[in-house]
Amino acid sequence: MKTMKPHLPTLSIALIAIALSGCDRKAAAPSDPQNAPVTRSVPPTAVDPLALVLALHEGDNEGDKEIRCFQEQVRGGQNREAALERLGWAFVTKAHESFDPGYYKLAEACANILESGSPGCPEGLLLRGHVLQNLHRFKEAELLARQLVAKRGLSFDYGLLGDTLMEQGRVKPAVEAYQQMVDLRPDLQAYARIAHVRWLTGDRDGAIEMMQAAVSASSPRDADAAAWVNSRLASLQLQSGDPELAQQTCAAALALRPDYPPALLLRGKMSLASEEAPNAITDLQRAAQLNPLPEYQWVLAEALRAAGREAEAATQEAFITQRGAAADPRTLSLYLATRGEDADLAVRLAEQELQERQDVFTHDTLAWALAAAGRIDEARPHLERALAEGTQDARLFFHAAVIEARAGQIEEAEHWFTCAAAMEDLLLPSERALLLKLPDGFASVGAAHETLPPSTANSLSASAIGAEGN
């Protein structure tokens, strides 16, 4: 079931929206309640949206000052609609910077006010569309994006449309939307989007080239966007086998935004792969404190366990299982399936996620959960969808190797095992351990070793790839 990358139309330039840059999340519970940042909560009861968005806002950074400035402009009544629009986007920016989804609801309230005064106004539609996108309501966001494209067709309208389509696994129409965006306005967001498309479709070198262009187009004046594109570039450089350059680019991201959670997470992963657990723990604890999502807590738990701090690792794992369904059901599903815990729940979470989000990673998650539940025949079609775009990702390859081995497809299992082994440093320690315990039955130990990179082949035991069952 080797999957070839389909031919895609060429993009001259292209982003994953800043709306997706590190803010792809639902509400998360803090990993350390005593030290976690205060979450901006929005009352569930019906309130006056204007009173809500004009409520006293505290904080001392430039984003906080900007919010208060726009609030004053709204109160003053001059250019009220323009001030409301800017206030809404200031809340979106604050959500990006703080990793606090409560600010999206404040942005949505701004959109409500704009649309109440001028139903269907593009400014309100775009703002609401980005809120829905970040809250994983992709189908609803797509409807708004299509209205925007029909009404005015600005570059950001096409960008939102492409983002919603990409999350739903509709890559070719997403590329068409991005092409329209590119033609209208090539900029940092366009460069970053094409980088993501190229990476997703297997062109890692092309992705690096475009993300470098995004970094060049960034500015310290927008430190959040600049830190994000540097973090993404560092991740791509690591995947390409250049950890030293990845470290340098990661440091550049942290120079732009000290304590930037995605950069701390990446640096922690690199330290963990280099068996420097103490350094990894320092970065990962801070990252998980600032952005308490299952993805961060999972890596921190692995680092703590690698350092022999079992009790602390268990505490982090308890956060994942207790709160992960609300914060990030897809990652919780992956975690449960990898750990061999509650496979039925892992399947249910992945199936629910697939109803809204049909991208390669959600299909991979469902395939992995189904395999953990012993439903291999049902897992393989989702695995095929996960591999369909040619994405070069260690976790995808690892899952493919295990699922195909359990399905008795030895040649396929060998192929994906080789791909995963070449990128094994990108896997978590528990995933690497599982990779080396693949069901045996490969054609021969010698043949498997011949296809592996020498450093990897030398580190594998015969039992890891031999002919004995799991």
DSSP calls for 6-19: PP-PPPS-----GG
Q: Please choose, from the candidates 402, 466, 404, the residue with its C-alpha nearest in 3D space to the C-alpha of residue 434.
A: 402
Residue ranges making up the domain that contains 280: 276-326
Longest dimension (CA), the chain: 77
Q: How far apart are CA 160 and CA 179, in angstroms?
A: 12
Number of structural domains the chain divides into = 1
Measured in whole angstroms, how far is the alpha carbon of residue 47 from the centre of its chain? Answer: 33
| Structure-token match 């059901």, residue found | 329
Single-letter amino acid code for the residue at 174? A
**Strand, helix or coil at 340?**
coil
* 297 within a domain of the structure (yes/no): yes
Q: What is the mean pLDDT of each run of 10 residues along the chain (470 residues)?
A: 41 35 39 41 65 93 92 92 96 85 94 94 96 93 97 95 96 94 92 94 96 96 94 97 97 96 98 95 97 96 97 97 93 97 97 96 98 97 98 97 94 95 95 83 44 36 31
Q: Please choose, from the candidates 89, 90, 24, the residue with its C-alpha nearest in 3D space to the C-alpha of residue 57.
A: 90
Q: Please choose, from the candidates 220, 228, 245, 239, the residue with its C-alpha nearest in 3D space to the C-alpha of residue 191.
A: 228
* 108 within a domain of the structure (yes/no): no
pLDDT of residue 96: 80
* 313 within a domain of the structure (yes/no): yes
Q: How far apart are CA 109 and CA 42, in angstroms?
A: 10
* 165 within a domain of the structure (yes/no): no
Q: Are 233 and 215 in contact (CB under 8 A)?
A: yes
Report yes or no on whether pTM surpasses 0.95: no
* 316 within a domain of the structure (yes/no): yes
* 282 within a domain of the structure (yes/no): yes
* 12 within a domain of the structure (yes/no): no
Q: How far apart are CA 198 and CA 304, in angstroms?
A: 35
pLDDT of residue 155: 95
Q: How far apart are CA 158 and CA 177, in angstroms?
A: 5
* 315 within a domain of the structure (yes/no): yes
| Structure-token match 């092309």, residue found | 206
| Structure-token match 């799991």, residue found | 470
List Cβ neighbours of 335 (8 Å cut-off, separation of 6 or more). Answer: 294, 298, 320, 321, 324
